[in-house]
Chain A
Amino acid sequence: ASRWQQLASRQLSLSPGLCGSESPLARADAIFKVTMIPGDGVGPELMTAVKDVFKAGDIPVEFEEFHLSEVQHMASEDKLDHVLSSMRNNKVAIKGKIHTPMEYKGELASYEMKLRRKLDLFANVVHVNSLPGYSTRHNNLDLVIIREQTEGEYSSLDESIFSCSDKSRRIAKFAFDYATKKGRSKVTAVHKANIMKLADGLFLQSCAEVAQLYPKIKYENIIIDNCCMQLVQNPYQFDVLVMPNLYGNIIDNLAAGLVGGAGVVPGESYSAEYAVFETGARHPFAQAVGRNIANPTAMLLSAANMLKHLNLEYHSQMISDAVKRVIKQGKVRTGDLGGYAMCDEFTRAVIANLSV
């Protein structure tokens, strides 16, 4: 009994995969380990913001950092393997964008894509929420965009576009399960089946099949061109959108623009086992490197979502409330939101607003 008493008094960090079969994998008072990949461009600055806020908020999360980057020539198969094994232990990661250099280096898959494929992160979710206090042309938006991200047009094999019915079914089920979990009422599938009759036709069929299991959720579909137009005219008609890979990229960025740009929209990627948290619109924003002007809102909100995934509801709420409060007050805003504050000033304002 005394041995356990000793253990119970210490705070220990846990990696689920490293524990033996007789131990609990996580507990209400444990410290969680999360893999962190800063990436390129402003990624490292944003990660610093996250780390500072976590430290100030006394959040029981420990980061395991990996600097994987192609443009900075810090990428190799070994490094990727380290990252993957860390992911397998921790199961949760937070990352910036790993930029793919334009020069064709003889390897068709970028590291970002390799990571995604190896971890089978098939679903990308982007939360498009209007920030209270920052008004745009469309206020009070609340959309979720779900995109399949391991197949379709972005497949690095330069062959014809293929769409496997299993994968379509998987992403459709993910979208409906997500909608059910968050209490959403409608799922709209976005496609171009009038032109790509077989590929997108299969996608639509899978969505319709899966929709039958969810009688309480309305299912609709819309063609991509009409969808884009509707998004800029009347985005309130949409609730959850689900789509294959290419359209997802376009719609993500479009929707991010509706609420304030790439600096404010958080996103995450899921596989059956892993969850990776990042910004919604993935841009390395290389022009801003070293100038301290990037907006850490998106990354901070994504970090809050990560805490919610780890079941740390209280801490998650604390961070997202602080960020929203700072934006609502309007005194400290970065350049993309029309203000003059620097990235670290914004971070300090968020820290000051943490109700610890």
Chain B
Amino acid sequence: PRSPLSTVILSLGKTLHPPCLQCGSTGVLCVFQPPPAKYGGRHTVTLIPGDGIGPELCGHVQELFRFCCVPVDFEVVNVDSAVMGEDDITNAIMAIRRNGVALKGNMETNHNLPASYKSRNNLLWTTLDLYANVIHCQSLPGVRTRHSNVDIMIIRENTEGEYSSLEHENVPGVVECLKIITRNKSLRIADYAFKTAREKGRSRVTAVHKANIMKLGDGLFLECCKEVASGYPEIPFDSMIVDNTTMQLVSRPQQFDVMVMPNLYGNVVSNVCAGLVGGPGLVPGANYGTDYAVFETGTRNTGKSIAKCNKANPTAMLLASCLLLDHLKLHAYAEVIRRAILSTLSELHTADLGGHSSTSDVVQSIMDAVQREGPQTLNM
């Protein structure tokens, strides 16, 4: 059996960067970036329907975009998560490399499959180096929750930490799982958090960690955050241990603004915050890298139990599509659709919000709201 350390070193080499098309190297500098897929004013965006409620929600996005004459064409790439082979996901990754932008549903990871089967979603983040997962949890008008005025932006490191898929059983009954924290990636995500905070005029950045226990791992993360914070003197920076964070989130969530954290804490904290503002049906999520961007629902649920029942809440996916439009600089379309979604949210609620409307009712109401707004004339 190979020693854990050598396994780490070998696999770090594999997970660093995808091989460059021009020279085959896996270094940082060599990236063949094709020009964006925009012709005649129309963009091409990769669409990965995924599993569970993914396909129906993606279908609604396509329907709404067609209705609003959004100049976006979707290239649909199906990924079958039940097969062991990686052809489908490689195909999807290639499609995202070509188009630069994607919208996806969640792909299910069956934990009964052997350990060599890597999570398809994880493969996407690591291969395309989509290092920042941004989830913006805001209290939405029309949705009553226990806490109001919540406005938290969670920036989660998306490519390392506990999701490095490095596990071994050297002695039967004893499993070792490696959590990887690197200085480069921690600096990068901290810088992303502060840059975003500055751009959006946010008031503080909180790093979430467990450095009292994982002194080296989370300690490194915290140190990197502090280093980056010194470069942004106008934004106050503090840190909080993850157990205290979750308690504070459920008692007084208004105290948080921008939060930056490693992978697993990000998963937990983003789900808590989504629950605070109304549930998984409301919060969109975005994954950004230097060259690509992929949009999806914030809490990455497959929704298998309500698949094909016309019960799912389309808000999260539709708001994610608005984020997509903003990324493509089609701000006017994004604004119109967002306004329509929010006005519908005050009238119709799906089952997850305690109402009785179906998904198609909500989408139809959104389209009616867009219709009501009407185009402006030259005279106005």
User: Which chain A residues have a beta carbon within 8 Å of chain B's beta carbons?
Assistant: 1, 4-5, 7-8, 12-15, 18-30, 91-92, 123, 166, 169-170, 173-174, 176-178, 180-181, 209-210, 212-216, 268, 270-275, 309, 311
Cβ–Cβ contact A12 & B377, under 8 A: yes
Q: How far is the CA of A216 from the CA of B95 in the complex (A)?
A: 10
A274 to B75, CA, bound (A): 21
> Which of the candidate stretches B47-55, B62-70, B78-86 sits at the interface with the other chain?
B62-70
Question: Do residues B376 and A309 form an inter-chain contact, with CB atoms below 8 A?
Answer: no
- Which of B39, B42, B97, B335 counts the most chain A CB atoms within 10 A? B39
Q: CA A25 – CA B374 in complex, angstroms?
A: 10
Q: A28-B67, A30-B69 are in contact. List 11 more A-B contacts (CB 8 A).
A: A7-B375, A21-B332, A23-B373, A27-B68, A27-B371, A173-B98, A181-B73, A209-B21, A209-B22, A272-B39, A273-B41
Q: How far is the CA of A170 from the CA of B91 in the complex (A)?
A: 22
In the complex, what residues of B have CB within 8 A of residue A212's CB? 21
| List of A residues within 8 angstroms of B32 by Cβ | 209
What 5 pairs across the A-B complex have the smallest Cβ distances?
A275-B40, A7-B374, A26-B69, A23-B376, A24-B336
Instruction: Report the minimum CB–CB distance from B150 to chain A (whole Å).
Output: 27
Interface centre among A14, A272, A275 (most CB of B within 10 A): A272
- Chain A residue contacts of B378, Cβ below 8 A: 15, 18
Q: Kindly list chain A residues whose C-beta atoms are within 8 Å of the C-beta of B371.
A: 8, 27, 29
Contact of A213 (CB < 8 Å), options: B94, B331, B373: B94
Q: List 10 A-B contacts (CB under 8 A).
A: A4-B374, A21-B335, A23-B332, A27-B67, A30-B69, A170-B35, A173-B37, A177-B44, A212-B21, A214-B94
A25: which of B36, B39, B67, B69 is its contact (CB, 8 Å)?
A: B69
Which residues of B from 164 to 180 have beta carbons under 8 Å from A? Answer: none
Q: List, in ascending order, chain B residues with CB within 8 A of A271's CB.
A: 39-40
B residues near A273, Cβ cutoff 8 Å: 38, 40-41
Question: Which chain A positions have C-beta within 8 A of B256?
Answer: none
CA of A131 to CA of B241 in the docked complex: distance in angstroms?
Answer: 71
B103 beta carbon closer than 8 Å to chain A: no
Residues of B within 8 A of A8 (CB): 371-372, 374
Give Cα A19 to B374, complex, Å: 12
Q: Among A1, A4, A180, which residue has its beta carbon within 8 angstroms of that of B75? A: A180
Distance of B87 from chain A, by nearest CB (Å): 10
Of A1, A14, A177, which one neighbours B375 at CB under 8 angstroms?
A: A14
- The answer to whether B35 touches A181 (Cβ under 8 A) is no
Question: B333 interface residue, CB < 8 Å from A?
Answer: yes
CA distance A123 to B40 in the complex (A): 10
A181 vs B43: C-alpha distance in the bound complex, in angstroms?
11
B34 close to chain A: CB less than 8 A? yes
Distance from B165 Cβ to chain A, minimum over Cβ atoms (Å): 25
Contacts of A213 in B (CB 8 A): 21, 34, 94, 97-98
In the complex, how many angstroms separate the beta carbon of B15 from the nearest chain A beta carbon? 21
Chain A residues with CB under 8 Å of B39's CB are 123, 174, 177-178, 270-272, 275
CA distance A18 to B376 in the complex (A): 9
Q: Is B370 an interface residue (CB 8 A)?
A: yes
Output the nearest chain B residue to A32 by Cβ-Cβ distance: B69
Instruction: Please provide the chain B residues from 332 to 380 with a CB less than 8 Å away from any CB of chain A in the complex.
Output: 332-333, 335-336, 370-378
How far apart are B28's CB and chain A's nearest CB, in angstroms?
Answer: 20
Cα A170 to Cα B44 with chains together (Å): 15
Q: Shortest distance in angstroms between B35's beta carbon and chain A's nearest beta carbon?
A: 5
- Asked if A25 contacts B41 (CB within 8 A), the reply is no
Q: What are the residues of chain B within 8 A of A275 when measuring CB–CB?
A: 39-41
Q: Is the CB of A215 within 8 A of B91?
A: yes
Residues of A within 8 A of B375 (CB): 7, 12, 14, 19, 23-27, 30
